[in-house]
Structure formats: structure tokens, C-alpha cells
Amino acid sequence: MHRFLTDKLLAWKVRSTRHPLVLRGARQVGKTYLARELGRIAFSHYIEVNFEESPALSSLFQTKNPDTICELLTTKYSTPVIDGETLLFLDEIQAAQPYVFESLRYFYEKRPGLHVIAAGSLLEFMLNRNDGQGQNRFPMPVGRIEYMYVPPLDYEEFLEATGHSGLVNFLHAYSLGDELPEALHLEFLLCLKRYLALGGMPAVINAYLSEDILQTEREQQILISNYYHDFPKYGRHASPDLLQKVFVSVPSLLGHKLMYSQIDNTVKSRDLAKAFDCLQQARIVAKVCHTPGNGIPIGFGSDENVFKPLFLDVGLACRLLSLNLADFDVDENALLENRGELCEQFIGQHLLYSGHEFEEPRAYFWMRDARNASAEVDYIIQMDNEVVPVEVKSGKTGSLKGLHFFLNEKHRNFAVRFNGDRPSLLKNSIVKDTLGRDCRFSLLSLPLYMVCQLKRLLREWKRL
């Protein structure tokens, strides 16, 4: 299946300022697949070293001389290591000795012509490991490596993988004001409901392509079980029982400010917070942090302690909620319209990774900082030098009171809404906010399935 990040990897291959590349992301999102695919299509030779399967291979990297390392790899794998022609992939590098990761520095400094990629399922814990006094216990090659963040397949990648490349081409060519036939709109919505149920984990999509729904659900459960089995590996920061408790609770808390008492009011919030942070390090959950939204950058003044949770993948969230594909097919519209939290998760996991592939994924929302206030905006994004509020609705209609309040408070006049309707642009509308004040604004309304085209269409709107 084609991943759009492959194009980014091909660009990395030919870039003169290239560093050894570290792929970061949760277990089973496709990091290994990306490296193998790059090796297949862009290199004459490929060496994959898996340190989880063979920890003893660390000994090949003890020297600080990358030429010696390459000679040893050639002997071990009977494959030439040639600058520009060989891709060296170090998989599950968190299971290797610390000096293996440190060797990336020497590849950059002494063998810059060799293409090196590293990845690991629990790499985040290695990168954040310290000695208890704030010092990182792992020798970090600071300034000598670069990162690429890998999410599950997005909606458009899902469309391509499931044989709907024509729909993807339509989305890429669509301009504001173009006609969107009702038949295509309904097809997009049908595919959207499938994505909500299945998600974007590669193993699940592969099972779905085999037309075996039972195996598809089994793959989702296997992934969930694999995460459970990983919990004892997360270190001493949280018990596996608490990790599992938070893990299974987050899908039912999507779209709402997280209060740890909602997970278990008999456990100290401090302990549940540590468990959540561990899952965040593993990139299984993420925080949508509250931001005042006063200007650029939107993260300025954000509060890490006031947040809504996001799950890794909407399909796995559905599985934990005991929802499956049949549930989404049983009623043509009702389930989708009654699952606003899932639609908010869908938009959120796309916005989280909507920045550059080398940027740490982040997402923000806004809520009014007043006692007993309920005004809230689902997401706040940064578009060039502007702050743009984004609301998510699962159906065709829904209140925008929080949005109106934000626009007045922050002196903004433009917003985005995702919903189940076809695209529209409302210009210079005047409504009353919750305090009775006039609110004049323009609203770009996009169907949920156009989330991957959001920034392109926003720029297009600014040119109109």
C-alpha cells in the first residue's frame, strides 16, 4: 500500500543536507514497511538489522569508525555497503546497546554519503530515559540526526489502499465552488464510515482487503493485545494495570476535557497522569492542549494540564468501544450523526499530523477561562500567520455558539466547520453570540472527508 511519506523519504534520499533519519511513531503504524519500501524502490542494496530479534548484533557497532561497521555488516549480510546505493535500516534500535544509537553521529560525521534509517516501537522511552537527576542516560547524537513522525494511514491513504484512487484524485483537484455530485458525496461518506470503523493501522487494512471481516476485527484485537503486552516494558513510571485502565478508558472520553476521576476515582490523579504520560510517550494517546488562542504561535500560553485526549487510531478506539463495521452499516445515517466524539477523533488525528513530517505532532483546543463557562472550540490551528478556529459536527447541522464567542473574544472573522454536508462558504454572516453581541464572520464549511485538503483549501479561500 502506498504511503504519502514515501515521497518524503525519496526527497530525503537526494537531499544534500541529509542526516541519519529516525522514524518515530507507535507500534505497528508502518515504520518498518516504509523503510523496506524505500529500500525496494530507491536502492540497489538493502540491509536490515533487527536488534529485537538479534540483540547480539549490537556488537557490530562498538567501534566509532563507521567504515569498520560497514565492513562487518558486509561480512554478516553478504551485501555491499556502498554510499548512495545501500540503505542501512536499524530496526527496533531501542533493544540495542546505547552505543548503536550513538553510532548515528559517526555515520553523519564520517560517512555522510551512506543512507541510514533507524526506528523502534518503544524508541520514545529510550529517547526520554534519564538517570533520576534529569540527565539523559542515552548518548544522544544531538544535531546529527533528524526525525520523521509516522502516523496510521490517513483517510486519503485509506481510499487509495481500498481501490478508490479516483476519489483521491477528485479531492486533490477539487476547488472551492466546484460542483460535488450527490453520488460522489455519498460515496465519500460511505468510505468515511468504513474508515471510522477500521481506522488506518496497516495490518487492519490488509486484513480488510482480503474481504475477511472477522479477520479484520481479529487484527484490531491483536494490535490491542500487543499494546497490553508492551505495558510491562514501559519502565517504572506506571504499573501495567494503570496503563491498561487508562488505555481502555480514553476512547469513551474522546471530545471532552480529561478529568482523571472519570477513569477511576479510587486512584490518585497523579498516578493516572503518569500512566497517561507513558501512553503519550508511546504515541498511543495524545493531548489536545488548551490554548488561549491569542495569536501566533498558537501553542504560546497553552496548558499541558488542561487537555482533551486523542487516541492513536479511530478504528482501534471503535474496537475498544465494541463498535464494528456492521454497526456503521446497519443504519445509513444515525450512528454517524450520534457519534460526534468519533468524528472529532477522526479530525483530530489528522490535524495532529498536519504539519511537516519532521515536526513534533501537536494539537490544540480552546475553552473559555471563566467560572461555569461552557464556551469551547474543538480545535485551534495555525494557518501561516493566522489563528483559525475549527468546529467538528457529525451531521449536517449543529450549534456554533462556542465558535461565535471565540471569534468575538479574539477579534477573528473567519472559521472552519467540518460536518457531514457538502462544501459551502458563508461570507460576512452576522449572528448573536451567547452574550448577545453581534458576531460578523465568514465560515468555510467542509465535509469531514476533506480534512486532508484543509490547508490547501484555506489558502485557496484567501486568494478568492
At 222-237, the pLDDT tens digits run: 999 999 999 998 867 7
**Region 338-359: what's the mean pLDDT?**
93
Report residue 332's pLDDT band, with 50, 70 and 90 as the boundaries.
Answer: low
Q: What is the pLDDT of residue 327?
A: 77
Which percentage of the chain shows pLDDT scores above 90?
A: 76
Gap between the Cα atoms of 10 and 156, Å rounded: 20
pLDDT 10s digits, 14-47: 999 999 999 999 999 999 999 999 999 999 999 9
- Which range (86-95, 217-226, 328-337) has the least confidence? 328-337
Q: Is it the case that residue 168 has pLDDT exceeding 70?
A: yes
Q: What is the pLDDT of residue 231?
A: 92
Please identify which residue in the block is written with the cell numbers 482480503: 210
Q: Is it the case that residue 133 has pLDDT exceeding 60?
A: no
Gap between the Cα atoms of 248 and 266, Å rounded: 17
Contact 319, 221 (CB under 8 A): yes
Report residue 363's pLDDT band, with 50, 70 and 90 as the boundaries.
Answer: very high
Q: What is the pLDDT of residue 239?
A: 92
Question: Helices (H) and strands (E) in the chain — how many of each?
Answer: 18, 14
Q: What is the pLDDT of residue 368?
A: 87
- Partners of 23 in beta bridges: 119, 148
Report residue 82's pLDDT band, with 50, 70 and 90 as the boundaries.
Answer: very high
Long-range contacts of 104-108 (CB under 8 A, 24+ apart): 104/20, 104/22, 104/141, 104/144, 104/145, 105/141, 105/144, 105/145, 106/64, 106/65, 106/66, 107/20, 107/66, 108/19, 108/20, 108/141, 108/144, 108/145
Backbone angles phi, psi at 429, to 5 degrees: -75, 150
Q: What is the pLDDT of residue 137?
A: 55
Could you tell me which residue, 417 or 127, shows the higher pLDDT?
417
Query: What does pTM read for this prediction?
Result: 0.93
Q: Is it the case that residue 241 has pLDDT exceeding 90?
A: yes
Q: What is the pLDDT of residue 211?
A: 84
- Which range (65-79, 259-273, 404-418) has the least confidence? 404-418
Q: Is it the case that residue 462 has pLDDT exceeding 50?
A: yes
**Region 111-135: what's the mean pLDDT?**
76
Cβ neighbours around 173 below 10 Å, total:
8
Cβ neighbours around 359 below 10 Å, total:
12
Q: Is it the case that residue 402 has pLDDT exceeding 90?
A: no
Q: What is the pLDDT of residue 282?
A: 93
Superfamily holding 5-149: P-loop containing nucleotide triphosphate hydrolases (3.40.50.300)
Q: What is the pLDDT of residue 132?
A: 45
Gap between the Cα atoms of 101 and 410, Å rounded: 46
CATH 3.40.50.300 residue ranges of the chain are: 5-149
Could you tell me which residue, 128 or 145, shows the higher pLDDT?
145
Report residue 288's pLDDT band, with 50, 70 and 90 as the boundaries.
Answer: very high
Q: What's the mean pLDDT when you consider all of the chain?
A: 91
